[in-house]
A and B are shown apart, each in its own frame.
Chain A
């Protein structure tokens, strides 16, 4: 029952800030109150919104979207608009009920039709509903237009306080300043009001919910003001009064919400404002002839047009990126975009393994000096080197002296042996066979357009046959020195066609360990460089088993704080219909999205309470290699809004599209190889720093045993939490 009430409340309140592309609860409260500044309009809006939501619910539309307010907000504006425009009467309210249903149908229809092109329906449904109802009321019901003026202060009657007097006098002074007054009035016009106080509250709500939206509202408004000013027109003029709020909504939509906020998106807001003005004026004239007003039509028109144009691009410029996963706030979109870009920029479908055991050296990388040029530039040559940097023992005058000679060559990924060339003898040292330059080769087909080729293999060393299925890591042949190979080495390349030595494809190696200068670093989807010492991440069965989280698994923790107070916390592993897996804490309604990709376990998103244990868990195990070598370091970066101090974040938000001045780094270190141990213990930390200065650091310690995650401790500097896993059901 409580859940139902919560859902209903949510569905009502969420509809308000959606108008400003926000999900903020505080903003919702402000807008709700603002809408009731004219109680009749507030009631009209509420009726419209409830009608739409109830209809949507009973017709069986997506509960999630109803709860998010997506189906209600158009009817909400319609209700407010109609109630404001006409004199108070029950007939009007009845008309609102039916018009709201109509708007909902428009919403659904536009959602489907525009959705096919991945476009939002914005307030298009409202426009159609509103025009229809306007014409109907005006011409059939003939209700007179309202002549109400709202005077909040006399009505609300609490002007006696000195503090409010101060605000009041400030508001009056603002009212004398055209530019600022019109900004606030433009904002209030979205709720069909013309009031500085309303505008002030809305702009405050905007600031609370999103610094980027707030900044954009000013940029949008200012650009429109300047353009009109240049044309010798006034934004205050009746015909142009729509330009103000259209520009504001447009700026937020294009500058921050549907496009990742950036220098370019801000520039485009300014560049598109003249277009916005032209469209507004042009449409204004056309609609005037029908005795209709354009309301938010210019905003809808330009935003949809521009977004559609962007979708049709062939080359996606770096600055202007569309929001792929809408997280409901420009900041969240931006921070996760930057973070994902940093973390998963190179992630590819195939996670290639290195085709050998142990540590090898890249003797020639991409764009190598010797042979990796032109069409064949994305290839690697691998050899084995000793501590002195030699590739051979003794004199190095026979093949057998070379460390890599006759060593096993492994399949880099699952696939089918597409072709094998054998029978080319291994050269004597320093001699090359330029006739059959690839030597003995194997080409493995991983998909129709994805092949790997390994060359210079030892004659007669193939362990597989053409057409055979091979598993990643399976031994397929031995390293040799056939073809153009003066000394034994392994040539490895990725290609999109099946022929021998066709054009190479730039493709990263999935996860590997870089062992340069005495420390080991985990690399994910990167390209090993020339002279790198690299090895595969060899799976640790205990780690692998522990992070094998399947839907339905339950993790139950018992925490103990400093006062020895005990608490029990339960998480469930869920995999949703989109195949996203996450840990869900019911109590705090928090979600930690994770993925297990080959030899890596990582979290990629968190939403919910930042005071929950799940949040700490998300930070502690942000990225865990499932195989360990001594001193293996894992570094990663956490999205700014997921770890930063709230006050710092507030300021960061303003300039985030231009400059990120702080970073949150994740570090995990294995101090041991943990081979064959039934307890694995490691430390991790997340550090937030501004210009290299550490301002916040959390330390974590995790213990894993055969029963799963055994224990994890959090130290945030001022508090310590110990969480003991009392159950890991698998």
Chain B
């Protein structure tokens, strides 16, 4: 006879809630959603048990699928497309290598990221070097490696013209162009402005200098852009520049880099509708950009390569954060509050998004409004001011979905240490791709001046300094 091992039913504390009868109203229908018990068929409970709570979980399958969706959207609309992985979005080496293995180049904005890309085996001529702060040494390295340098300001341009003759080749450069694409806020702090003519001035200076190889045009109109048509405007303006360059300097530019900024399906704070319904799809962005380029006056036989530096939209969906409930509380005004073991230290994006947070165990359809706090002893540590969740108790697990972008680069080691990051590969096997931090790790960079050593050392014990016993002057 089989032994039926019945699991004990989950206890939910009772709640009192006003009944909303009749047809659905502005408060919506009652909550009907499913718990997330598995990520890529790997049990959430097991993950938390093995790797601790909280833990970041990345799905390789989702990453690759999302990448291929994006690639297909562009490839089937435009003849030459190249993706370039935006390192700042998530520069865990495992993540970068997933995208590199799918054919992505690297898009970096600092020497740190640049060196990371090189260490990941990306050839120099497949690295796009963006960003406003590049030192002379950074520029020399990039020139030596044949990387594409995207110039941000005139000072950088002059510096490059100054550095170029020392190398026996022309540095490959593009300029970043900012422009009015009809969206607010307009990003004008990076690159050269299109409307006021600075972009054209920069282009002319580069080409006339004859010291730099002008390879392309770059723009990055903003981030989490919810309007695909803004990209169409940006693409048209870059195409106009390309045509003008051809007319004036008889030069075909080799690429147009549309930057990134594609929205993921997360819901922005304060938006009325769900992100999944409002965010444009890759197809929408691709249609807008490629149509604008194809319909432009660029010579059809010499269409430039289209480069995309999409980061967020490619990785957000692949990341989840598993956390657990620390405590339930009642606030002074009677509102419910729940304290989680993860806070703004790990979930940086909670400043922008109303994340989708789902319990990992069965629950009834009753829910109540609660405020979610993190574990930090700091007032700012509030993940969500108000969220409708089923009643949770200490130890219950939740899954925060779509957290792959920016959290694993902008997280902070503040009060608590950062947890593990694991990757579920295509076969469903789990790999740790970043270990949790330890006190030793955090302190490993610290130095304590001799006179500030531990008290017991000071009180007479011999202390080793550089391997030699040191006499400690205990008179003070």
Q: Is B69 an interface residue (CB 8 A)?
A: yes
Chain A neighbourhood of B300, CB < 8 A: 471, 473-474
- How many angstroms from the CA of A630 to the CA of B104 in the assembled complex? 12
| Given A386-B69, A393-B69, A541-B302, A357-B77 contact (CB < 8 Å) | yes
Q: Is A358 an interface residue (CB 8 A)?
A: yes
Chain A neighbourhood of B65, CB < 8 A: 386-387
Spot the interface stretch: B78-86, B195-203, B414-422, B434-442: B78-86
A360 lies within 8 A of B76 (CB)? yes
- How many angstroms from the CA of A646 to the CA of B469 in the assembled complex? 81
Shortest Cβ distance from residue A511 to the other chain B in the assembled complex, whole angstroms: 15
- How many angstroms from the CA of A357 to the CA of B216 in the assembled complex? 22
Chain A neighbourhood of B125, CB < 8 A: 677, 679
Q: Which of B243-292 contact A (CB under 8 A)?
A: 252, 254-255, 287
Chain B neighbourhood of A541, CB < 8 A: 252, 254, 302
For B125, give the chain A residue with the smallest CB separation.
A677
Q: Is A663 an interface residue (CB 8 A)?
A: no
Chain A neighbourhood of B213, CB < 8 A: 678
- How many angstroms from the CA of A145 to the CA of B375 in the assembled complex? 127
Q: Is A458 an interface residue (CB 8 A)?
A: no
Classify the interface of chain A: helix, strand, loop or mixed. Answer: loop
Q: Which of A581-621 contact B (CB under 8 A)?
A: none
Q: Is A676 an interface residue (CB 8 A)?
A: yes
- How many angstroms from the CA of A473 to the CA of B294 in the assembled complex? 12
Q: Is B413 an interface residue (CB 8 A)?
A: no
Interface range on chain A: under 10, 10 to 19, 20 to 34, or 35 or more? 20 to 34
- How many angstroms from the CA of A357 to the CA of B294 in the assembled complex? 12
B82 lies within 8 A of A676 (CB)? yes
Q: Is B188 an interface residue (CB 8 A)?
A: no
B68 contact from A387, A538, A630, A678, Cβ within 8 A: A387
B68 lies within 8 A of A386 (CB)? yes
Q: Is B72 an interface residue (CB 8 A)?
A: yes
- How many angstroms from the CA of A677 to the CA of B148 in the assembled complex? 10
For B65, give the chain A residue with the smallest CB separation.
A387
| Given A675-B82, A676-B254, A358-B77 contact (CB < 8 Å) | yes
Chain A neighbourhood of B138, CB < 8 A: none
Q: Is A489 an interface residue (CB 8 A)?
A: no
- How many angstroms from the CA of A386 to the CA of B77 in the assembled complex? 15
B75 contact from A357, A471, A679, Cβ within 8 A: A357
B80 contact from A360, A407, A675, Cβ within 8 A: A675
For B170, give the chain A residue with the smallest CB separation.
A678
Chain A neighbourhood of B103, CB < 8 A: 630, 673
A675 lies within 8 A of B305 (CB)? yes
A357 contact from B79, B172, B215, B302, Cβ within 8 A: B79
- How many angstroms from the CA of A404 to the CA of B73 in the assembled complex? 10
A356 lies within 8 A of B76 (CB)? yes
A676 lies within 8 A of B72 (CB)? no
Q: Is A712 an interface residue (CB 8 A)?
A: no
A359 contact from B64, B75, B302, Cβ within 8 A: B75
Q: Is A77 an interface residue (CB 8 A)?
A: no
- How many angstroms from the CA of A386 to the CA of B300 in the assembled complex? 28
- How many angstroms from the CA of A248 to the CA of B197 in the assembled complex? 86
Q: Is A78 an interface residue (CB 8 A)?
A: no
- How many angstroms from the CA of A93 to the CA of B82 in the assembled complex? 80
A403 contact from B72, B255, B294, B302, Cβ within 8 A: B72
| Given A387-B65, A541-B302, A408-B79 contact (CB < 8 Å) | no
Q: Is A260 an interface residue (CB 8 A)?
A: no
For A405, give the chain B residue with the smallest CB separation.
B283
For B252, give the chain A residue with the smallest CB separation.
A541
- How many angstroms from the CA of A403 to the CA of B282 in the assembled complex? 11
Shortest Cβ distance from residue B427 to the other chain A in the assembled complex, whole angstroms: 15
For A388, give the chain B residue with the smallest CB separation.
B65
A538 lies within 8 A of B72 (CB)? no
A407 lies within 8 A of B76 (CB)? yes
A359 lies within 8 A of B255 (CB)? no
For A535, give the chain B residue with the smallest CB separation.
B75
- How many angstroms from the CA of A408 to the CA of B290 in the assembled complex? 10
- How many angstroms from the CA of A356 to the CA of B76 in the assembled complex? 7
Q: Which of A110-166 contact B (CB under 8 A)?
A: none
- How many angstroms from the CA of A384 to the CA of B71 in the assembled complex? 12
Chain B neighbourhood of A538, CB < 8 A: 79-80
- How many angstroms from the CA of A677 to the CA of B216 in the assembled complex? 12
- How many angstroms from the CA of A576 to the CA of B173 in the assembled complex? 44
A403 lies within 8 A of B79 (CB)? no
Chain B neighbourhood of A360, CB < 8 A: 76
- How many angstroms from the CA of A359 to the CA of B302 in the assembled complex? 21
- How many angstroms from the CA of A113 to the CA of B142 in the assembled complex? 72
- How many angstroms from the CA of A590 to the CA of B254 in the assembled complex? 38
Best-buried of A404, A538, A673, A676 by chain B (most CB within 10 Å): A676
Chain A neighbourhood of B172, CB < 8 A: 678
B294 lies within 8 A of A475 (CB)? yes
Q: Which of B64-107 contact A (CB under 8 A)?
A: 64-65, 68-69, 72, 75-80, 82, 103
Cβ proximity bits B352-394 to A, threshold 8 Å, 1 near / 0 not: 0000000000000000000000000000000000000000000
Shortest Cβ distance from residue B94 to the other chain A in the assembled complex, whole angstroms: 20
B76 lies within 8 A of A403 (CB)? yes
For A410, give the chain B residue with the smallest CB separation.
B79
Cβ proximity bits A665-678 to B, threshold 8 Å, 1 near / 0 not: 00000000101111
Chain B neighbourhood of A536, CB < 8 A: 79
B254 lies within 8 A of A357 (CB)? no
B305 lies within 8 A of A384 (CB)? no
A357 lies within 8 A of B305 (CB)? no
Chain B residues close to A by CB (< 8 Å): 64-65, 68-69, 72, 75-80, 82, 103, 125, 172, 213, 215-216, 252, 254-255, 287, 294, 300, 302, 305
Q: Return 19 A-B CB contacts under 8 Å, by A number.
A: A357-B75, A357-B78, A358-B75, A359-B72, A386-B65, A386-B68, A386-B72, A387-B64, A393-B69, A404-B76, A473-B79, A475-B294, A538-B80, A541-B254, A673-B82, A676-B82, A676-B254, A676-B305, A678-B213
Chain A residues close to B by CB (< 8 Å): 356-360, 384, 386-387, 393, 403-404, 406-408, 471, 473-475, 536, 538, 541, 630, 673, 675-679
Q: A357-B76, A473-B300, A673-B103 are in contact. List 8 more A-B contacts (CB 8 A).
A: A357-B75, A358-B77, A393-B69, A403-B72, A407-B76, A408-B77, A677-B125, A678-B172
Nearest 10 A/B pairs, CB to CB? A358-B75, A358-B76, A676-B305, A538-B79, A676-B254, A407-B76, A675-B305, A357-B76, A675-B82, A387-B68
